[in-house]
Amino acid sequence: MRRDRAALAFVLIACNIAFDAEAVAQSQSPDEALWHQIEAARKAPVSTQPYDDWFVAQRAACESLAQRLRTYLTLYPGGPHRDEAATLELQSLFDIGCLSDGKLSELRVRAEEHLRSPLSPVCEQEAAYWLMICRRRDRAATTPPAALPLELLDVNLADEYHSYVMAYPAARRTPRLATLVLDAALARDDPAAMREMANLLEMHFPSHANTAYCRGSVRRFEQVGRQFEYSMSTIAHGRQDGKTLRGRPIVIVVWLAQEDRNVRSAIATTRPSGYRERELALRDLVAFAREHPLVSIVGVPIADSVSAVREATTAAGIDWPQHFDERGWAGEFVRHWGVRTAPFVFVIDAKGVLRAATDGAGWRAAANEAAAP
């Protein structure tokens, strides 16, 4: 009897679920029903076995998705999912080109259509971005990489990004592109271009993480050659600040005491070149500290716990004071000075003047000069 009741209950529940699903489908407007199909197509898994079939299956899935998205935009140009549909369609066309012969002719045609008759500002911004990508791909296909110096290619790319962010300052891609433009300006010591990008992001993306980084980068660049004031608490050496240490050179080192958990296993097995470079740079800093005992060195470790910092300092043979606020890359010091790489070194001379702030090998010459009697 109990089994019969359980079976009956299961049948009734199944009927109710089917009825509810049918009722929802009937209650949807045509545009929402189509968008529901698009969402399902986006989430549909693509078979990866055998591996050789993956590209064919993925390309077919992208083609189907792009067609559905174009249908949505054709039938419902003012629909509630218009901007997302246009964004996804252009991305899908890019994926199709990459999964085929690498040519982006279909993407170019569609982006030009969007740019001629944009359905919204977002559609125009996305079309302009993808046309820029198409132009870069065309030049890469026709110009051998060795034909031009890498620096010149970087300058050209920075110029294109600059044109885009000035034309579309509120576009969703602007924070990343403006940051790349600022980094290029920093590399060529162009403070005016740096300030332009920082001010643009401040106006349109005041709370964005890239805005904070750009502000810090400009602040750091402008501080070189000026008095460098700082004050920070350390784990086991009390409070450190520039005034109490005035009269002796100071080196502040932002260093990676703990890798992100997503890359720890990869580093343990492959030890990639980036890891080796950081390791060698840290060894050089440790050697410098031993060679110059009159130089005060303060570490700003990037880690998620005090125990991780202590373990890393012991392993590296570091005995400098460590300023640790448990916030990692969101810490006050690294955010204020726009630091995103490690190790990053600030060199302050005995008079309290910042002589260098760099993630490259340039810190060594500046530190040796500051340490000279």
In angstroms, the CA 203 to CA 208 distance is 11
Average model confidence (pLDDT) across the chain: 84
More confident: 240 or 371:
371
pLDDT of 149 strictly over 80: no
In angstroms, the CA 323 to CA 370 distance is 22
The pLDDT value recorded for residue 261 is: 46
What is the chain's length? 373
The pLDDT value recorded for residue 235 is: 79
Asked if 323 contacts 240 with a C-beta cutoff of 8 angstroms, the reply is: yes
Q: In what order do the strands lie in the sheet with 250-256?
A: 296-302, 250-256, 344-348, 354-358
- Apex CA 351: angle with CA 248 and CA 321, to 5°? 40
The pLDDT value recorded for residue 267 is: 38
CA distances from 102 to 99, 141, 299 (A): 7, 9, 46
SS3 state of residue 301: strand
Cα dihedral 104, 110, 116, 122, rounded to 10, equals -100
Does 28-142 match 231-371 in CATH topology? no
Percent of the chain with pLDDT over 90: 52
Quick one: average pLDDT of 291-295?
A: 90
pLDDT of 12 strictly over 50: no
In angstroms, the CA 297 to CA 108 distance is 54
Asked if 277 contacts 247 with a C-beta cutoff of 8 angstroms, the reply is: no
The pLDDT value recorded for residue 121 is: 96
Quick one: average pLDDT of 149-177?
A: 83
Asked if 345 contacts 359 with a C-beta cutoff of 8 angstroms, the reply is: yes
The pLDDT value recorded for residue 271 is: 45
* Start-to-end C-alpha separation, the chain: 97
pLDDT in tens, 316-365: 899 888 998 888 899 899 999 999 988 999 999 999 999 999 987 778 88
pLDDT of 48 strictly over 70: no
In angstroms, the CA 69 to CA 222 distance is 48
The pLDDT value recorded for residue 363 is: 86
SS3 state of residue 322: strand
> Closest Cα partner for 323 from 203, 248, 239, 266?
239
Can you spell out the DSSP letters for 166-223? HH-TTSTTHHHHHHHHHHHHHHTT-HHHHHHHHHHHHHH-TT-HHHHHHHHHHHHHHH
pLDDT band at residue 266 using 50, 70 and 90 as cut-offs: very low
The pLDDT value recorded for residue 202 is: 98
Architecture, CATH, for domain 231-371 = 3-Layer(aba) Sandwich (3.40)
pLDDT of 14 strictly over 50: no
pLDDT of 275 strictly over 90: no
pLDDT in tens, 169-226: 999 999 999 999 999 999 889 999 999 999 999 999 999 999 999 999 999 999 999 9
Amino acid 315 reads A
Please give the CATH number for the structural domain made up of 28-142.
1.25.40
Burial of 147 per CB tally in 10 Å (0-12, 13-18, 19+): exposed
In angstroms, the CA 97 to CA 134 distance is 11
Q: Which helix (H) or strand (E) element contains residue 269? A: helix 261-270
Q: Which residues have a Cβ under 8 Å from the Cβ of 124 and sit 6 or more positions away?
A: 114, 115, 118, 168
Quick one: average pLDDT of 49-68?
A: 87
In angstroms, the CA 211 to CA 335 distance is 10
pLDDT of 152 strictly over 50: no
The pLDDT value recorded for residue 57 is: 87
Asked if 242 contacts 352 with a C-beta cutoff of 8 angstroms, the reply is: yes
In angstroms, the CA 365 to CA 353 distance is 15
In angstroms, the CA 255 to CA 276 distance is 14
More confident: 227 or 261:
227
In angstroms, the CA 147 to CA 168 distance is 32
Between the ranges 160-169, 266-275, 280-289, where is the mean pLDDT highest?
160-169
Quick one: average pLDDT of 286-302?
A: 91
Domain-by-domain residue ranges, the chain? 28-142, 145-223, 231-371
Asked if 137 contacts 104 with a C-beta cutoff of 8 angstroms, the reply is: yes
| Range of weakest confidence among 125-129, 272-276, 359-363 | 272-276
pLDDT of 18 strictly over 60: no
pLDDT band at residue 142 using 50, 70 and 90 as cut-offs: low
Percent of the chain with pLDDT over 70: 81
The pLDDT value recorded for residue 147 is: 47
More confident: 3 or 338:
338
Q: Which residues, in sequence order, are bridge partners of residue 233?
A: 239
Omega before 50 within 30 of 0, i.e. cis: yes
Whole-model pTM: value is 0.81
Quick one: average pLDDT of 123-131?
A: 97
Burial of 15 per CB tally in 10 Å (0-12, 13-18, 19+): exposed
| Range of weakest confidence among 31-40, 109-118, 151-160, 345-354 | 151-160
> Closest Cα partner for 250 from 227, 268, 276?
227
| Range of weakest confidence among 8-17, 173-182, 225-234, 301-310 | 8-17
The pLDDT value recorded for residue 143 is: 53
Quick one: average pLDDT of 91-107?
A: 92
Amino acid 15 reads C
